[in-house]
Homo-oligomer: A and B are copies of this chain.
Amino acid sequence: MAELIQPRTLKGFRDYLPALMLPREHLLEQARRVYRSYGFAPIDTPALEYAEILRGKAGEESDKLIYQFTDHGGRDVALRFDLTVPFARFAAQYIGQLGTPFKRYHMGPVWRGENTGHGRYREFWQCDFDTIGTTSNAADIEAALVIHDLMRALGFERFEIRINNRLVLNGLLEQFGLANQVVPLLRALDKLPKIGAEAVMAEMAEKAGVTRAQAERILALAQTHGDNREILDRLQREFGDNPRAADGIARLRELVAVVHDAGVPDERIRLDLSIARGLDYYTGTIYETFLTDKPDIGSVCSGGRYDNLASLYTKQVLPGVGASLGLDRLLAAMEEMNLLPKAKTPAPVLIVQFAAEHLGAYQSMARRLRGEGIGVEVYPEAKKVGPQLKYAESRGFRIALIAGPDEFAQGMWQVKDLARREQINVLDSEVAAAVRKLLSTI
């Protein structure tokens, strides 16, 4: 006998067993449903692309991040490391055909050869949505609504969407006479949650050459907390004269008002002038989303407005706004938080195979129930009832149906509630109703 190959996965990659895959499919389905409910249409792009397209203007440091190789045809190819770059390429290629505004969602795996650990894997799913071809603030506002409805659909009650607008900070740095130091200042500010205020101010002094007083003022502004409308009023008073800041403030004000009108509880939206993610990319509204009970996993849904999606691939200017849900990170967090259901089967009903000669009757009943939308497994082997019920319990089935010669003679079925360990006998024609009733009460 040949030597066995050791069955194992690569470091940083994981298998999804049913107990984890069932919730992942549920999350994907909810995300799909919410995106669609807002009119975002699905697209897909290949996992493999020309390396030059995926690398874009990424520097050599990203070479370690990207899985790239030469294919049989001598092409330099790479696995996508996010869904944004492929979308930029896609938009450049088809926007004439698709027309604007164009709203898409895209859900799929991406690959990064980076260090692993604590919920970070080298293969993980992203779920992105974007509206491109418009600078209208209505699209920014909608993005906040989508994130909100998405989090609710995923089952979360306690979360906070933090909103910023790059125009505000840019404008007030202009006001301070620091327009040329915006990038190093925001890069320092972005590290606030990780390194703390003192270190941020030190970096501001070192990298942007600002005074201690200036750094303190910027930090104080960025850390302003309180009622969203009060913050906006204060910003308006202090920086409303700067046209850029005024624009950002007005857009934030409209966002806060419309999201409120649309029925989103105020406490789920919080202005946070300190968030500045995607420094070289985002130019307007910025979104981050934190679980109140698990803030340490970081933002689970982030994004923002950008001036130009696809400048590497087309001269057509494509402004847009969107966000990305870190599905697998969220799933890993829910796994840690014990929020995932325990069932390992998607079907609630098991039909016991009492005797092989009745298989036609079992499959006939099963197909009737399936026709009414009830998932049914027929146990594949005719053996003793005990082990079949044990199997049903271990997999998380909720109901077992049993019929042997006696039941068939009377046209009856035993309907067994596996949780309560109770059973009733019902007529063949009433099984579907009995099952439905039981399922609604379990």
Chain A residues at the B interface, C-beta cutoff of 8 Å? 2, 4-11, 13-18, 21-22, 24-25, 32, 36-50, 52-53, 56-57, 64, 67, 69-73, 75, 77, 79, 89-90, 92-94, 97-99, 101, 103-104, 109, 111, 113, 122-123, 131, 134, 136, 138-139, 141-142, 145, 149, 254, 257-263, 310, 312-315, 344-347, 350, 353, 356, 359-361, 363-364, 366-367, 370, 374-382, 391, 394
Complex partner residue of A38 from B32, B46, B49, B370, CB under 8 angstroms: B370
- Taking CB atoms, residues of chain B closer than 8 Å to A2 are 57, 312
Q: Give the 4 A-B residue pairs with the shortest CB-CB distance, closest first.
A: A39-B377, A261-B360, A69-B69, A18-B41
Is the beta-carbon distance between A376 and B7 smaller than 8 angstroms?
A: no
Minimum CB distance partner of A6 in chain B: B313
Q: Are B344 and A41 in contact (CB under 8 A)?
A: yes
Closest-by-CB residue of B relative to A40 is: B346
Quick one: copies of this chain in the complex?
2
- Would you call A48 and B367 a contact (CB within 8 A)? no
Closest B residue to A57 by beta carbon equals: B2
Closest residue of B by beta carbon distance from A346: B36
A-B contact pairs, 8 of them (CB 8 A): A4-B312, A4-B314, A7-B313, A15-B90, A16-B45, A17-B97, A18-B104, A38-B370
- Please give, as numbers and ranges, the residues of chain B lying within 8 Å of A47 by CB-CB distance: 47, 79, 109, 111, 123
Question: Is there an interface contact between A21 and B37, defined as CB atoms closer than 8 Å?
Answer: no
A10: contacting residue among B6, B46, B69, CB under 8 A = B46
Q: Once the chains bind, are A41 and B346 in contact (CB under 8 Å)? A: yes
Closest Cβ–Cβ distance, residue A407 to chain B (whole Å):
17
Q: In the complex, how many angstroms separate the beta carbon of A138 from the nearest chain B beta carbon?
A: 5
Contact partner, A376, options B38, B44, B259, B350, Cβ 8 Å: B38
Question: Are A375 and B39 within 8 A (Cβ)?
Answer: yes
Question: Chain B's nearest CB lies how many Å from the CB of A263?
Answer: 6
**Cβ–Cβ < 8 Å partners of A73 in chain B:** 11
